[in-house]
Structure 1
Amino acid sequence: MYEIRTVVLASVLAGLLLLAALPAPASAGLAGFQYQREITIHENSGETLRNYQVPVELSGSDFPEEAKTDGDDIRFTDADGVNLSYWIEEFNAGSKRAKIWVKVPLIPANGETEITMWYGNPSARGVSDGDAVFEFFDDFGGTSLDTDKWTALSGTAVKVADGHLTIDGYGRDGGLYTNSFTCPAQCVIEWRGMLTESEWTLSTGFYVTGHPLWHFAGGFREDMDKVRVFVDGDENYAHKNIDLNIWYRAKTYLLSNEIKEDVEKTIISKSCSIRKNLPVSLYAYNEGRYDFIAVRRYTSPEPTVTLAPPAPAAHTALTITKSPAPHSIRQFDETTITISIKNTGTADATDIEITDSVHPSFDLTSGDFPSPLRYDLIRPGETRDLQYTIRAMESGTFKLDPATVTYADEDGNIQEAKSEPVSIKVIPSTEGGISGGTPGSNPSVSTASVHLYGEKTDVVLGEDILLKLSAVNLITKPTMHVQVIIIPPSGMSVTSSAFAKSGAGQYTTTYELEPGTGKDIEVAIRSNQVGDFDVNGRIVYYFGDDREDAEDHTLTLPIKVRAKAESGAEQRETPSESKETSTPGFAALVAVAGLLAVYLWRKRR
């Protein structure tokens, strides 16, 4: 029993391990976004991180060139397709540099989390939102200081304009501190600042009641070319060239046992043991400016980011075309309408419905008219074609309404596409008749220039059906352009080398005749089934460049395909070894008589 339980437990564990090894299902694509990029975030500190702000930096070949120039079409989702909050700090299409902060809900200790970046949607509007990403954020939009976030010290001049905050302490301690926000343990203030007046410091730090704003802070000073950090007013510094009216990107760290300042990779720190939950402070002795302030969480070492190569995003896109063949016909003749639907996207289209309408000047005569026509599924790259035939009852030029396809995209949303409108020219018929024929007749299309007729239309299965095409261009005419279209019954094919299959079961050939020349073509159609069928033929031709007055003629040719002739019944084989005749059963009768004689003889003895 112990062995059985052990085997069962091992099997269960093996199954669980197998399930764990299976890849997670791919997230559904974002509708309208043409590109996606997988991003792997690896946790390095050994702690599970929640709602952690991760910078995604893109440059050179990693820069998403297909995105909008301002990055407004950037989006991020988690593995389940849930949108993630993000803030674009920098997006420069000219220099191909971008830095985007993403708030990631969960990064397991020493593990990995995958997110997806989407882009390539010209109609998308920007949703970058620093307030939704950081613990505290202000990019100083508007025209006045947000007093719900900040308190200004008395005597401090504050101005908000053009997305910047200007502070002037007028040669004394001036600045701001946050009203209700306090930094958690282990946090970083990301900021960008500029000095506009000489000799003094711009700094960001942590406000301790009863102390000046700069007593627990880090920043830079222009006249001494210093990156500085203060703890209780005591300074550590490192040399760095600092110029006026230049923006500097800086980070101020509040760690468990030190304050650290990083100004564009010039780093200085100083030990401290200040308490937690301190407000954020901004300080300028003379005039200085801030571009933004963002407070985020911090762990060491921080997560690392790996970018996968960009790939087309999974999306559904159906296109629909509608085309008549031919475009120009005579009154009472027919033309074939072909509707083609193709999935040009990278995801399945489902619940497809195609609708169309017949112009009032035409009659529907045959075919797959979509009223409506439905398909359950069209996969990427697949095409669905349908055809129907209409007859022109009036002359003139007619604009046909577009055909429509509706479908469910990769997110289940219903989308619609329409074909481009097309026109048909109908030439008045002086005869008012309809070309074609009835079974048993030999219909043809014949004009002064072209003659198409059936030469062999009653065939045995396996034989070729033969049509004859003769065309002559009169010496008085310009160059003659001819197109022949043959539409054989389903399953049959045109075997003549002059014809090429053009889709939707049609075969076509084109050629030109110079004045005074002619051409004969034999059209062979391979029969592969028994029965009565119709072969449809069309001839379109015009002279010179006069396409508008092209002649267009149709032919419906009845075909009969018979089974192969049966061979005569085989003769039964008769014996030829002997010429003697015999009575059936005679040998058996002789044998029985012999046995009876022997029996009687023995009985007498």
Structure 2
Amino acid sequence: MKAKHESMKNHVPNGLLTLIVAAILLASIAPIASAGWDYRKPVTINNPGDTLSDYQVLVTLNSSNFDYSKASPDGSDIGFVDGDNTVALNYWIEEWNATGDSRIWVAVPSVDGSGSTTIYMYYGNLGASDARDGDATFEFFDDFPGTSLDKNKWQLGDGVPYQCYPIDYRVSNSTLVTWSYTPQWKSIQSDYTISSSETTIVEARVKSDAHDSWHILGLKDHSYINRNRFCVLFEGYPENHIGIQTKTPSEWNRPHDLGVMQKNRWYKLKIIKSAENTMGAELIDNNGTLIGDYHTTLYSWDASKWQIVQWKYDNVYSYWDYVFVRKYTSSEPITTVGAEESDPPRPPIPTYIRSTDTDDDGVPNVWDADNSTPAEYWTDSQGIGRMWGDMNGDGKLTSVDALMILQVAAEAISL
């Protein structure tokens, strides 16, 4: 309790007022906090292939397997745990659609080969914090939050002709917008690299406001952009079509047309690196329908590492909503969402009372008057996580917790 005593002293500007507010607050929120998660569902992962480690598994929800009225409107109160209910799993919501399909990627530590693995999805908790985390879920991830580009994730050209100048860009509305204001080769590429032996899938949600003869998404040799490439370009030949360009040390080709990509409409592009010298691409519309795909093996590719790239020459706006990299396997696991369980056992997922945290820093404002208390203040030292105010760690908010908080406050002030 010593650490809590010291923290409390720093965050009680008015002792008597704090005691009164704490007592009233605890009494008013106890019924909510005690409720925890109201429901959970088992999610069975059927894997026909080999055992997978730290694999990103897709969970699809719709009205046939999930009652959206029992969860937050934006899905912010869901959480995933392993089959033993001992480890919280990282996840990211690609799409939450209460009238259609919702797509959620869950990073599962181990998926049994030639069999099934069960995890659990929890939901129905007014006190749950939104725990979706793309960075923790994928090998690489960016959904371009805020108004600035994360320079720890991206490189902007290198200022040398043919190696490309920095691309023109802005970040707004959680979208990266790119163009080339002057007719020069310009690029943006990931700091993250994929080794030649790795197998991965790069996925991006993209659109463009006009045809562009260069690459809206691709992989390129990390050492030299003009040596090895596999890229998708919105070239418009024939009209509105999107094609493939490949480049080896000795030649480049445009071997395939993926199909029609209309201007100013969102699509998903996938680049699939399924072997050291095998690449593929898929064009998918915003409803999830595959428009076209292509795969090729080029043994003359000799890149030791690959980077995600966008390469532009024209003053045409292109948009990335998100980009992520996930692991690849030739036989994707398939998930099945099971029957709902009411009043489930408490999961190892941290929670707090959102309504008391108006600045969204993970700390109730009653103890955070100057916005300096770390979020870990209300998380137990084992990293399991407790409800806000659960001083004795029993998973409930009771009068015992209220008395403990009042005792700490009383010891920290002079009335």
1:279-321, CA deviations, whole angstroms, 9 ceiling, x for partnerless residues?
22123443211011100110111111122122324259xxxxx
1:229 deviation in Å? 2.3
Structure 2 letter corresponding to 1:48: T
User: 1:100 Cα shift?
Assistant: 0.5
CA, structure 1 residues 34+222, in 2 after alignment: closer, same or farther (shift >3 Å)?
farther
- Rounded to whole Å, the distance in 2 between the matches of 1:155 and 1:414 is 54
1:178 matched residue in structure 2 = 190
Bigger RCO (CA 8 Å, 6+ sep)? 2
Are 2:205 and 1:192 aligned?
A: yes
Match among 259, 263, 267 for residue 293 of structure 2: 267
| 8 A contact 2:213–2:235 mirrored in 1 | yes
Cα RMSD (Å): 2.6
Q: Give the Å deviation of 1:86.
A: 0.2
Paired position in structure 2 for 1:575: none
Mind listing any 5+ residue stretches in structure 2 that lack a counterpart?
1-33, 158-164, 285-289, 347-389, 401-415
The answer to whether residue 310 in structure 2 is matched with residue 307 in structure 1 is no
Aligned partner of residue 259 in structure 1, secondary structure: strand
Whether the aligned pair in 1 keeps the contact of 2:166 and 2:188 (CA below 8 Å) is no
Larger radius of gyration between Structure 1 and Structure 2: 1
Q: 1:219 to 1:133 in 2, by over 3 A?
A: farther
CA contact (8 A) 2:258 2:282 kept: no
Q: 1:78 Cα shift?
A: 0.1
Q: CA deviation at 1:223?
A: 5.4
C-alpha deviation, 1:202, in angstroms: 4.4
8 Å contact 1:70–1:91 — kept in the other structure? Answer: yes
Change (3 A) 1:121 1:315: same
- Name whichever of 263-272 and 96-105 sits farther off: 263-272
Residue pair 1:185, 1:277 contacting (<8 A) in 2 also: no
CA distance in 1, matches of 2:178, 2:258: 24
Of 255, 275, 280, which aligns to 1:236?
Answer: 255
Aligned to 1:280: 308
Listed one character per residue, the Cα deviations across residues 512-568 of structure 1 (whole Å, up to 9, x for unaligned) are xxxxxxxxxxxxxxxxxxxxxxxxxxxxxxxxxxxxxxxxxxxxxxxxxxxxxxxxx
- TM-score, normalisation: structure 2: 0.65
Residue pair 1:60, 1:96 contacting (<8 A) in 2 also: yes
| Length, aligned pairs only | 294
Contact 1:220 1:227 in 2 (8 A): yes
Q: CA deviation at 1:269?
A: 2.0
Contact 1:136–1:181 (CA under 8 A) maintained in structure 2:
no
Match 1:50 to one of 26, 38, 53 = 53
Give 1:287's aligned amino acid. Y
Secondary structure at 2:57 match in 1 = strand
Q: Distance in 2 between matches of 1:52 and 1:185?
A: 14
What's the counterpart of residue 278 of structure 2?
Answer: 258
Structure with more strand by fraction:
1
Q: Which has the higher helix share?
A: 2
The separation in 2 between residues aligned to 1:72 and 1:80, in whole angstroms, is 23
Task: Give secondary structure in 1 for the equivalent of 2:306.
Answer: coil
Q: 293-302 or 264-273, which moves further after superposition?
A: 264-273
C-alpha distance in 2, partners of 1:251/1:180?
17
Q: Which amino acid aligns with 2:139?
A: E
* Per-residue Cα deviation, 1:352-382 (whole angstroms, up to 9, x for no partner): xxxxxxxxxxxxxxxxxxxxxxxxxxxxxxx
Counterpart of 1:167 (choices 167, 170, 178) is 178
Which structure 2 residues correspond to residues 49-68 of structure 1 after superposition, within 5 A?
49-65=52-68, 66-68=70-72
Match of 1:468 in 2: none
Query: d(CA) in 1 for partners of 2:201 and 2:345?
Result: 39
Aligned partners of 1:151 and 1:178 also within 8 Å: yes
- Structure 1 pair 252–306 and aligned structure 2 pair: CA distance change class (3 A): same
How far 1:238 sits from its partner (Å)?
Answer: 2.9
Which letter does structure 1 place at the counterpart of 2:261?
I
Could you say if the C-alpha distance between residues 53 and 417 of structure 1 is closer, same or farther in structure 2, counting changes exceeding 3 Å?
same
State the one-letter code of the partner of 1:259: M
For residues 261 and 220 of structure 1, do their structure 2 counterparts lie closer, same or farther at Cα, with a shift above 3 Å needed?
Answer: farther
**Pick aligned residue for 2:398 from 394, 409, 416:** 416
Superimposed CA distance per residue, residues 318-342 of structure 1 (whole angstroms, 9 cap, x where no aligned partner): xxxxxxxxxxxxxxxxxxxxxxxxx
Q: Distance in 2 between matches of 1:262 and 1:36?
A: 34
What one-letter code is carried by the residue in structure 2 that aligns with 1:37? Answer: K
1:71-112 per-residue CA deviation (whole Å, 9 max, x = no partner) reads 00010000121100000110022x232101000000122122
Matched with 1:207 is: 220
- Counterpart CA distance in 2 for 1:214 and 1:142 is 33
Instruction: Report the alpha carbon displacement of residue 59 of structure 1 after superposing the two structures with TM.
Output: 1.9
Tell me the distance in 1 between the aligned counterparts of 2:103 and 2:325: 16
Answer yes or no: is the 8 Å Cα contact 1:155–1:169 preserved in 2.
no
Structure 1 residues 31 and 220: alpha-carbon distance in aligned structure 2, compared to 1, 3 A threshold: farther
